[in-house]
Amino acid sequence: MEAKTDDRVHFSDRLAAAIRRRRNPVLVGLDPRAEQLPAGLAPSGRASRAEWAAAYARFCTLIVDVVAPLVPAVKPQAACFEQLGAPGMQALAEVIAHARLRGLLVVVDGKRNDIGSTATAYADGFLGSESAWGADALTVSPYLGDDSLRPFVDVAQARGCGLFILVKTSNPGGGQFQDLIADGLPLYRHVGRHVERLAFETAGVVGYGAVGAVVGATFPEQLAELRGEMPHAWLLVPGFGSQGGTARNVAGAFDTAGLGAVINNSRGIIFAHARPEFAERFGAARWQEAVEAATREMIQQLHAETTAGKL
């Protein structure tokens, strides 16, 4: 059992250290789905929400046990747990606590946002080992502008925690508003500039800030462009694997030392037992081995195709 992560150290430096320790930037997404749980983990018959929540907690905990020695961080998806109501949220709390106990950094994917003291309430609730949820970082939506982001930044700073602000998302329709051109630049570049300012303000020893950006793997050109525009911002890159992003697609997200980005894969790892190549090799019962194999495969691909190979 490894030491609990220490949030008295700057988030960015903790993230860099975790990436260097594991020699890869893989962020395993914990997105449990009732219909995709491995056989044997789903409750039988007409189960209550509390029974499903217990199954989610068990599934995610077992994944954490597999990936903790392999990767630096995990990203639980708040929506999957909230779907089950209060018992689901209890399961989320258990998963976060277990992951931190196993030495993983935890980024809660909640895409939260609000103004003033309400933004502070979200940040206070999610960030830091003394908080209710005890996460290391949280994803945040930028639509409400700087005075909504500032309370998140203040709490994150005070607690050695991090934020990832949505800039250019991986979904096909993300461009509807994000690509609108204002003053010669798409909206996502305006948001990106603001995030870079916040990243610069909050930079740790390693040069990256406590504030980073979510930029999808499905737009490789914009990813490389934003890497250049946002030299102080960690990029959290979703869209690898199931959404079509490849190791080559995310190469532009890294700096020359292999830092600067974490690459998320959710379904491709946690439901690896359902991918034809792993289903055949392991069968349903050995689903944890499929999780391990898929994680190792992703690490290998990133090592081969990106500067993460220099880690």
Residue 260 backbone zone (phi > 0: left; psi -120 to 50: alpha; other: beta) = left
Give kind and range of the element (H or E) at residue 73. strand 73-76
| 74 or 251: CB nearest a second copy | 74
To the query of whether residue 168 is one of the catalytic residues in this protein, the response is no
Number of residues counted as binding a second copy (CB under 8 A) = 60
Which DSSP letter does residue 246 get? -
| 49 or 310: CB nearest a second copy | 49
Q: Is 172 in the site for a second copy (CB under 8 A)?
A: yes
Report 17-46 residues binding a second copy (CB under 8 A): 31, 33
DSSP reduced 3-state for 61: helix
Q: Is 90 in the site for a second copy (CB under 8 A)?
A: yes
Distance CA(81)–CA(135), nearest Å, equals: 15
Q: Tell me the closest approach of the beta carbon of residue 242 to a second copy, in angstroms.
A: 10
Q: Please select the residue that binds a second copy; options are 43, 103, 174, 309, rule is CB under 8 A.
A: 174
Q: Tell me the H-state helices in the chain.
A: 11-22, 49-67, 78-82, 85-101, 116-126, 146-158, 175-178, 187-201, 220-229, 247-250, 267-270, 276-282, 287-305
| 29 or 258: CB nearest a second copy | 29
Interface segment toward a second copy; rule CB under 8 A; list 126-134, 204-212, 229-237, 257-265: 126-134
Report 176-195 residues binding a second copy (CB under 8 A): 176-178, 180-183, 187, 190-191, 194
Q: What are phi and psi of 265, to 5 degrees?
A: -140, 125
| 158 or 177: CB nearest a second copy | 177
Judging by beta carbons within 10 Å of its beta carbon (0-12, 13-18, 19+), is residue 219 exposed, middle or buried?
buried
Site of interaction with a second copy (CB under 8 A)? 31, 33, 49, 77, 79-80, 82-86, 88-90, 92-93, 109, 111-119, 121-122, 124-126, 132-133, 141-148, 166, 169-178, 180-183, 187, 190-191, 194
Q: Which residues are catalytic?
A: 111
